Amino acid sequence: MRLILHILLKDLRRQRLEILGYCTAVVIWAWREVHPAAFEWLRERDLLPILMFGLWILVTIRAIQGESLVGDKEWWPTRPYRWGQLLVAKVLLFVMVLNGPLLVAQLYLLMHAEIPLTWSLVPRLIILQGMFLLFATFPTAVLASVTASIVQWVMTAVGTVLTVFVFSWLPWGKLPRTLSGQGELFSWAMALVLLLSMLAALLWQYARRREWPARIVLAAGLASIPLLILFASTGLARRIAYPCAGSGSSMKLAIKPADNGVREFDWRDGNEIEIPVVDPALGGDEVIDVHGYRLHLAGSGWHWESVWQNSGHHLVFYDPAFNLVNSLPKWVYAKVKQGHVTAQVDVAWESYRFNPPVRVQAGAPDYGFAVPGIGYCRKETSAKYVGFDCVAPFTLPPVYLLTIAAEGNRCTEPDGESEVPVGHTAYALEFSSSAPAYFDPNPVRSFSLMASDWVPALPQKSGQYEYRSATVCPGGSFTVRTGQLLGRQRATFELGDIGVSKTYTPSKATEEGTEKFDTDNE
Amino acid sequence: MVSVETRALTRSFGRIQALRELDLTIEEGSVYALMGPNGAGKSTLIKLLMNLISPSSGYAQLLGMESSRLRGRRLEEIGYVSENQKLPEWMTVEQYLCYCRPFYPKWDRGLEQQLVARFELKPKQRLKRLSRGLRMKVALASVLAFRPRLLILDEPLSGLDPLVRDELLEGLNELKHETTILLSSHDLAEIDSFASHVGYLDGGRLLLSTTMEDLRHRFRRVEATIGRSVEGPATMPSEWTNFTSTATGACWVEREYDEIESVRRAAVLYPGAEITAKSLSLREVFLAIAHAERKAKGGAR
């Protein structure tokens, strides 16, 4: 430990100027985050985060390259370093001078946002710092360990970015589409491969200082990316990302009985059908996020199968339906027109379960209130707007549902309309991916108490209510339900026979006209 | 006890063989001077010993451990200074010595201060402002202060003025009774009075490895004085090199001088000549070896 501190103190002395520069940038950034009106030119150009990250990189590179891992090998016989101690000294330096000031700034931002600093925040603060260490410091340090100077580091970094660009120019469009679960599988696999290759390179360099094997390991990690993309587009990756639901399927799918039909549009550039489907068994506690589907059509002596298509539909108790939209080849289109076609659909989805609802009183007009499981709100009043400014520490839950009912919100808007018309309820179903939040140095996330899914649907008068959103009235109440991910699944649903029922008159949009099909089943 | 040992040590760079099956043994407590012309393989050998490069074949041992495992704690007993050694430019002399200190359990603060005084180093002076000679002194002070069991110096005296060279050698002299020293050098004159053993490397091969005493005894300049110039014998004895006809006879360098046998052989070849033998300086010995080697290579071609 004595030697670790000895090396650490040496690095602190050597890099005091850039460390001071970084700390100053962090202080200005934190101050700037809570004073949005100040230094507008800095915000417009995103200069402060660039400066902070630039100094972060500089400190990391100089600390690693200060020990001549590449080039001057004669340095090492004059230093009886234990490589493990040396590496620990560097990690300590990064944690102390890079993560430390950022942590203080984050605590300040959380306090300024009036988020209570409780012990429950500690694990998330540690995870956040760990993510910065893993995804910012670590790759920078690895690259620094196989390069001899800052110029070499920059050239290698530019070369790496160019390589990724070259990868992006490959004809990926010819591959089967990947669903978001496959994309996530690819991201995890890529992160794992790259992190392992970087770890191997770093340890190799520190333990043996053989830069070429280390560089080759890194290049191999980079070269594996196209292979992983290829893998992610395969059926195997889809099956891994979305295990077959079998009898334990959290979703049931059938043709939507209310529409009782399949609409088909004949576009100029192809033939597209739209099949309305519904999950008739969806519970009040469940949410389904449909990631993609694949349609099978079969008739007498023929069969056709679409490619997998991405989908962004969410099924929830107040709206358990969506449309399967597919372009058909002309010969299939002709067969469907003739009628008596059997439809089947493979669906891949993610399911969530809501926690019990919590009723929240939107506080007295002048003070804030907590939204359980999400964050904290306070009243915000401006010349034109009275509403709530809501913040959450670090991340939002993976899913949450806001319910704003007319009963608890009787206020009116400036135009005299009720915020929530009597007899109506406004819902907001929000999904959140936690990962991007971790890469924002500001730990304060914002969310709104706005809802725009209306039940029953608002009457449309001159389009006025068509896209109207409701918010919670000051002093009003609302219900919040957070949810957690249950898992991903994949299943095949029999939709039964579909066939032509009647013909529409041509619309303005399509000179060829539109036709309507219905299902013979159900 | 053996401090340095190599067996069939070979290192190639592409088609060029920098070292060829080198067998070398350096006994503990000796001061071994590794000599040879430029490109002889001296630096390659030292880099192999210090695990800075890997051998193509063969092995090397330092203080009983294989050189390929030489790293970390094992360097606590081995000092190394090279001709172009880089130092942390941003540090002062004092900071540098202070930084090196905790890594060596046997660091001697008293000796450090003595060396700083002897080498006339200014503790507060930044390393980047030092001349090459002063930098070598700092490097040497930092390795002598921990009293290494083995000290390896790669051309430490090259390009230094005579005064600095003397000071450095004086510093080394202090420790030569407790430390095995291996140094490569072109500087034959200084080594002459300093080294206990000597090796001559040329073309990657160790042509000679012996004690200084033996070297001085074995290599002699022999003169045959006969009163007129004479030709060399039709078949030159293999021990002879650098044969020269003079106005009064001939002279040559005898590589395996024996007081009886060498004189008898010369007397047979030059009857009636007066035969005398003189000691050679280290410089003359190595010039003789180098000439013989060049001649042998020329003959081989």
Instruction: Give B62's strand partners.
Output: B4, B65
Q: From the CA of A69, how many Å to the nearest CA of chain B?
A: 12
**Interchain proximity B52–A77, CB inside 8 Å:** yes
For position B59, which CATH number holds? 3.40.50.300
Q: From the CA of B173, how many Å to the nearest CA of chain A?
A: 21
Q: From the CA of A79, how many Å to the nearest CA of chain B?
A: 7
Q: Exposure of B192 by Cβ count < 10 A (0-12 exposed, 13-18 middle, 19+ buried)?
A: middle
**Does A33 lie in the same domain as A160?**
yes
Residue of B nearest to A1 (CA): B102
CB A216 within 8 A of CB A201: no
**Does B248 lie in the same domain as B147?**
no
Q: Where are the beta strands (DSSP E) in A223-300?
A: 254-255, 262-267, 270-278, 286-299
**Does A348 lie in the same domain as A495?**
yes
Nearest beta carbon to residue A82 from set B73, B81, B95 = B73
**Does A399 lie in the same domain as A266?**
no
User: Which of A13, A74, A203 to substitute to test the interface with B, most B CBs within 10 Å?
Assistant: A74
**Interchain proximity B72–A68, CB inside 8 Å:** no
pTM attached to this predicted model: 0.82
**Does B267 lie in the same domain as B206?**
no
Indicate the angle between helix axes A16-34 and A47-65, nearest 10 degrees.
160
**Does B200 lie in the same domain as B159?**
yes
**Does B117 lie in the same domain as B14?**
yes
User: Which of B99, B135, B144, B147 to substitute to test the interface with A, most A CBs within 10 Å?
Assistant: B99
Residue of B nearest to A16 (CA): B90
Q: How far is it, in rounded angstroms, from Cα A201 to Cα A188?
A: 20
CB B86 within 8 A of CB A75: yes
Domain boundary residue, one of A169, A188, A205: A169
**Does B224 lie in the same domain as B197?**
no
Residue type, A354: F
Among A136-145, B13-22, B155-164, whose mean pLDDT is lowest?
B155-164
Q: Tokens 């009857």 map to which residue? A: B271
Q: What is the pLDDT of residues A217-244, one digit of tens each?
A: 999 999 999 999 899 989 999 999 999 9
Looking at the predicted structure, is the pLDDT value of residue B158 above 80?
no
User: Which of B53, B67, B75, B128 to substitute to test the interface with A, most A CBs within 10 Å?
Assistant: B75
**Does B231 lie in the same domain as B205?**
no
pLDDT at A9 (0 to 100):
95
Contacts of A74 in chain B (CB under 8 A): 50, 52, 80, 82, 84-86
ipTM of the complex: 0.80
**Does A159 lie in the same domain as A32?**
yes
**Does A372 lie in the same domain as A335?**
no
Nearest beta carbon to residue B50 from set A10, A77, A82 = A77
**Does residue A2 sit at the B interface (CB-CB below 8 Å)?**
yes
Domain boundary residue, one of A151, A169, A187: A169
pLDDT at A515 (0 to 100):
45
Give me the domain span that covers residue B75.
2-214
Q: What is the DSSP string of B22-51?
A: EEEEEETT-EEEEE--TTSSHHHHHHHHTT
**Does A295 lie in the same domain as A417?**
no
Q: What is the DSSP letter of B79?
A: E
Q: Exposure of B230 by Cβ count < 10 A (0-12 exposed, 13-18 middle, 19+ buried)?
A: middle
pLDDT at B181 (0 to 100):
93
Residue A231, domain member (yes or no)? no
**Interchain proximity B52–A73, CB inside 8 Å:** yes
**Does B226 lie in the same domain as B196?**
no
**Does A38 lie in the same domain as A109?**
yes
Q: How far is it, in rounded angstroms, from Cα B110 to Cα B144?
A: 11
Residue of A nearest to B88 (CA): A66
Give me the domain span that covers residue A426.
363-475
**Interchain proximity B84–A74, CB inside 8 Å:** yes
Looking at the predicted structure, is the pLDDT value of residue B104 above 80?
yes
**Does residue B89 sit at the A interface (CB-CB below 8 Å)?**
no
**Does residue A80 sit at the B interface (CB-CB below 8 Å)?**
yes
Contacts of A73 in chain B (CB under 8 A): 52
Contacts of B92 (CB under 8 A, 6+ apart): B123, B124, B125, B126, B127
Nearest beta carbon to residue A6 from set B78, B88, B102 = B102
**Interchain proximity A74–B85, CB inside 8 Å:** yes
Q: What is the pLDDT of residues B169-190, one digit of tens each?
A: 887 887 778 899 998 887 677 6
E strand or H helix at A20, and its extent? helix A16-34
Low-confidence residues of chain A: pLDDT under 70: 39-45, 257-270, 364-367, 382-386, 414-415, 433-439, 460-466, 499-522
Contacts of B85 in chain A (CB under 8 A): 74, 78
Contacts of A45 (CB under 8 A, 6+ apart): none
pLDDT at A257 (0 to 100):
67
**Does residue A77 sit at the B interface (CB-CB below 8 Å)?**
yes
User: Which of A6, A7, A78, A205 to substitute to test the interface with B, most B CBs within 10 Å?
Assistant: A78
Nearest beta carbon to residue A10 from set B70, B99, B139 = B99
